[in-house]
Amino acid sequence: MQPVQQISTLDSVKTYLQLLVACAFILTQYSCTSVLYVNTTLPPDVAVTHDQWKVVAVNRFNPALLPFNREKKLDAFEQGAKEAFYGVTEAILQDDTFVLIAADTTGNYLQTAAKQALTPEQVQSIHAKHPHHLVLALDNFDAYFEQETFREKNGDGSVSKTAHYTLHTRSYWTLYDSTGAVLDRASLTKQELYDSRGVLSGLLAIGQSIANAGPVIDKLAWQTGMDYWKRLQPRHISFARPYYSNKDFTPAAYSMAASDWDKAVILLTPIAESGQRKNAAKAAYNLAVVHEAKGDVARARKWAKLSADKGNKLALLLLSDLNGYH
């Protein structure tokens, strides 16, 4: 009888495995969501016309406005500002859609007060020397340390403290057109863990010196300049998003899978605007995904917020990502 029992057990295992495979297939076919893989291009954060391609860059950072007078620290800030300026000019030179016609470091346009903008007269003065379409000004630069202290309990019951120092650099930029109108104003920050040291005898660790951090400041500052010019460039991104594909969403899901965004919008909009709260939230979420795929972040945010306001959890996650676009 033993062999018969073995065969019966094997048959049961085989039947169980077949059921698992069948269940997995059914879940795949009739799952509430599918995954959309998208490669798309987002428009620049700062929009300029195709006729605005000649650029003048001006370093307006004035170390005399700093609230300290230690020479080595002043030098670190001044050199950091120069590196930020070099970074942005390098980025412009690498961009085939723009031409850098001048990088003005003469000091004629230094700020004489904090947050002081170029006047239209100053822009016209720059234009007289260097006929241009755009003026990009580095207005200010900052560098500082941020300290975080962590406590750790040792095996003998004592407590050790370690202070971690992160170095931050921040550059401030204003972009003008040839009339002096402001097209963009932004500050960009880069940071890096600089050092860690133990805290002795319950006292704070001795702080780091900006004056001695010149090489790291220069590296981070240069990157902020490179990063600013990305605001004028299209951004190529890839992402994967879940989307609703079952029952009422099947026709729109086919359009989404085929990247037929306009048809998907036509199919989803009536559902999103219907009085069926749950389906409306799902359709609004799908519309947010569609508009993100189209590169229209503003509309994607609008639909994601409408969906999130109806309690859709996927929309809450998507909205967080969309808000990270700038």
Q: What pLDDT, in 10s, does the model give residues 280-299? A: 999 999 999 999 999 898 99
Q: What is the pLDDT of residue 213?
A: 95
Total count of domains within the chain: 2
The pTM assigned to this predicted structure is: 0.71
Decide which of 175, 200, 232 is a domain's last residue.
Answer: 232
Residue 154 lies in a domain: yes
Give the whole-number percent of the chain exceeding pLDDT 90: 70
Residue 14 lies in a domain: no
Based on the fold, state whether residues 208 and 306 are members of the same structural domain. Answer: no
CATH number at residue 287: 1.25.40.10
Q: Residue 276: CB partners within 8 Å, gap ≥ 6? A: none
Structural domain boundaries, residue 81 = 54-232
Q: What is the pLDDT of residue 201?
A: 57
Nearest to 283 by CA among 317, 258, 257, 246: 246
Based on the fold, state whether residues 201 and 270 are members of the same structural domain. Answer: no
Note whether 194 and 216 are within 8 A (CB): yes
Residue 179 lies in a domain: yes
* pLDDT tens digits, one per residue of 255-278: 999 999 999 999 999 999 998 899
Q: What is the pLDDT of residue 29?
A: 39
Residues of the chain with pLDDT under 70: 1-31, 200-207, 326
Residue 130 lies in a domain: yes
